[in-house]
Amino acid sequence: MSIFRTMMTGVAAAAMFAGGAQAADVRIAMVVKALGNGFFEAAGKGAEEAAAELGDVEIIYVGPTAPTAEGQIEMINSLIAQQVDGIVISANDQDALVPALKKAMQRGIKVVSFDSGVAKDGRNLHLAPSSDALIGQTIIKLAADHLPDGGKVAVLSGTSTATNQNSWIAEMNKVMGDYPNIEVVATVYGDDLSDKSYREAQGLMQSYPDLDAIIAPTSVGVVAAAQAVADAGKIGEINVTGLGLPSEMAGAIDSGASKSFAIWNPIDLGYSATMLVHELIEGAEAAPGAEIQMGRMGAITLDDNNEAAMSEPFTYDASNIDEFKSVF
């Protein structure tokens, strides 16, 4: 799952921004996997946005310099000593953090995990960026939006055994009934290798000369497919879309090989997680079936494991790529 890995591997340059009102009533700590990672810096921006909206909240943004569970446990213990009101965390290890976070919850600190979850005992609720169903619906919608008259699309996945991609594609196939004019002609596997993905994309163009779109729900595949389409001189004929990071896809958007693609928005994620923990501090109950508000992002309904998905992935295109390509 290379999208994930790319997001998580951050440079170990320490960057710490704590701000907000000095005499804040509520202090919320955001514990990230590692400092210096663009994805989490963006999530931190979202948290600041939520704090500004709420008014009485101070955000403490912390994280270890290397993405380890040990580093995060130290942070949590120090935050307990500082008597913060809430912790928002993306965990480096879903089990190792449980004892420390349990201690925090016993002291009345509300804990929300986001992005990378903590096991059920160690948090009040978990906010996943998206769900398999939402991702599956998004990837076909991305292709269909640019094919008003219908057409042929092909899927370029990662490895044939990748659990996440396979479940996204399965969810996509479930909603194909909503797109009667769109035909999925093939599913091929680029194994998350740029050369194989490139070759598979070339093969698709040869096998289906009237192909209209390639959907690649993998960050390596979508970049390679866009390059293959550009090299074949088929920009404008074939739209490459799927899941990718703005920094990696900026070239493809510029060249026109890709009209749009999607990935979860880290700013929204940080914003929503902060809003949720604030709701909990204000007295909301995190229980299965509970509906909790998260400001401009609407509301979530918790499932049996006190988990919920934030929203469908955020769509990036020529209008917003410049804003996000330097973020993550």
Partner 1 sequence: MIVTRFLASREAILLGALVALLALIAIRFPAFVAPANLLRVFNDTSLLIILTLGQMVVILTRCIDLSVAANLALTGMACALLNVAMPGVPVVVIVAFAVALGAFLGAINGVLVWKLDIPPIVVTLGTMTIYRGTIFLMSGGTWVNSHEMTVAFRALPRATFLGVSMLTWIAVVVIALVALVLTRTPLGRAFYAVGGNPNAAVYTGIDVGRTQFWAFTLAGALAGLAGYLWIARYAVAYVDIASGFELDVVAACVIGGIAISGGIGSVGGAVLGALFLGVIKNALPVVDISPFWQLAISGAAIVIAVALNTRANRTRGRVILKSAEHVT
Site residues (CB under 8 A) for partner 1, limited to 140-169: 160
251 binds partner 1 per the rule CB under 8 A: yes
- For partner 1, give the closer residue by CB, 94 or 202: 202
Asked if 250 interacts with partner 1 (CB under 8 A), we say yes
DSSP state for residue 206 in the 8-state scheme: H
Closer by beta carbon to partner 1, 18 or else 193: 193
Choose one: 41-49, 86-94, 144-152, 249-257; the region binding partner 1 (CB under 8 A).
Answer: 249-257
Cβ pair 284, 292 in contact under 8 A: yes
Does 325 interact with partner 1 (rule: CB under 8 A)? yes
Among 94, 173, 247, 320, binds partner 1 (CB under 8 A): 247
Position 21 contacts partner 1 (CB under 8 A): no
28-64 residues labelled b (16+ CB within 10 A) or e (exposed): bbbbbbbbbbbbbbbbbbbbbbbbeebeebbbbbbbb
What x-and-dash track marks residues 184-223 binding partner 1 by CB under 8 A? ----xx---xxxx-xxx-xxx-xx---------------x
For the residues of 106-130, what is the DSSP string, one character each? HTT-EEEEESS---GGG-SEEEES-
The span of 6-14, 57-65, 107-115, 136-144 binding partner 1 (CB under 8 A) equals 6-14
| Contact predicate 37/8, CB 8 Å | yes
Q: Which is nearer to partner 1, 58 or 192 (CB)?
A: 192
Q: Contact with partner 1 (CB under 8 A): which of 4, 12, 52, 102?
A: 12
Q: Which is nearer to partner 1, 25 or 231 (CB)?
A: 231
Going through the chain in order, the beta strands assigned E by DSSP cover 26-31, 57-62, 86-89, 110-114, 125-128, 151-157, 182-189, 213-216, 239-242, 260-263, 291-293, 299-301, 307-309, 314-317
Closer residue to partner 1 (CB): 12 or 170? 12
CB of 40 to partner 1, least distance (A): 14
By residue count, the chain amounts to: 328
Q: What is the b/e burial string over 89-105, where b = at least 16 CB atoms within 10 angstroms of the residue's CB?
A: bbbbbbebbbebbeebb
Q: Please report how close the Cβ of residue 217 comes to partner 1 at its closest, in angstroms.
A: 15
Q: How far apart are CA 158 and CA 138, in angstroms?
A: 17
The amino acid that residue 62 corresponds to is: V
* Residue 323 engages partner 1 in binding (rule: CB under 8 A): no
Q: How far is the CB of 322 from partner 1 (least distance, A)?
A: 10
Taking the C-alpha atoms of residue 114 and residue 100, their distance in angstroms, rounded to an integer, is 17
Contacts with partner 1 by CB under 8 A lie at 6, 9-12, 160, 188-189, 193-196, 198-200, 202-204, 206-207, 223-224, 227, 231, 245, 247-252, 254, 325
